[in-house]
Every structure is written in structure tokens, then in C-alpha cells.
Amino acid sequence: MSAAENAAIVHRIFDAFARKEGLALRGLFAEDAVWSVPGRGVMAGLYAGREAIYRFLVKLPQETDGTYGSELIDVLSSDDRAAALYRARGTRHGRTLELDQVLLFRIEDGLVQHVLALPSDPDAFEVFWA
């Protein structure tokens, strides 16, 4: 895949999430894809497999009473990787999240194989999802 095609995949993921159209994600992740979230909070973990990733993405708005959102700022991509810089926002249990995060994607044959989430402020991320 070209860098432009991989960037388009990332844009499609963010667009589908923003529109709350989970079915639009179906063709974007490999069956054995993995999404890694650091920390010890309720969202931290290793989500292995397409269905586990979908459940993880559905859980974000559930854990925040529908307030969680992400604003894509920029995408950098190559023939097999992409990085998305975005602003995450939400409220949970009286706490507010507003911080930049990076998602690192490995993409093969037009399907996301691996995603690593990297919050810009790991301590604030931990407190929010505690």
C-alpha cells in the first residue's frame, strides 16, 4: 500500500468513530489485529483480534457517558506505517480528559495489523481512566 492509501485508512477509522458507525470499521482491521493501550486504568490492555478491538472502541463512549471524542490533527504515513496525532476529550466520574495522543499503526495489505496508543501525558491519562 502507498503512504497515501495508509493515511486514508487512518482517516476512515477516525471518521467512522466520530460518526459512531462501528460497522464502517469492519473492513479496516486484520482478523488478528492487536491494539495496545498502556497503563493500568479501565481501558488499558492488549486487545487481540478484530472483535476485541471493536469492543474496546465501543467501550470508550460507554465509560464516558457518550462524552469521549477524538479530533484528528495530523497523519503521517509510509508504505507500511502511519501515525495519527489527535486530541482526546471526555468526562468520566467528575474528571475531564483533554490531551493529545498518538496512535502508531502498522498496516499490511490495506488492513491495520497493530495499533499502539501513546498519550502525551501518561499521568493525566492514568488518572482519567482509573
Q: Give Dmax (Cα) for the chain.
A: 43
Query: Which of 86, 43, 88 has the alpha carbon at shortest distance from 63?
Result: 43
Residue 19 has a pLDDT of: 86
Cell numbers placing 77: 504515513
Residue 23 has pLDDT above 80, yes or no: no
pLDDT band at residue 21 using 50, 70 and 90 as cut-offs: confident
pLDDT, averaged across the chain: 95
- All structural domains of the chain with their residue ranges: 3-129
pLDDT digits (tens, 9 = 90+) for 86-122: 999 999 999 999 999 999 999 999 999 999 999 999 9
The strands making up 111-119's β-sheet, listed across from edge to edge, are 45-48, 29-37, 111-119, 95-108, 81-92, 69-77
Residue 129 has a pLDDT of: 96
> How many percent of the chain have pLDDT more than 90?
89
Question: Which CATH code, of 3.10.450.50, 3.90.550.10, 3.30.70.141, 3.40.50.970, is assigned to 3-129?
Answer: 3.10.450.50
CB 42 within 8 A of CB 125: no
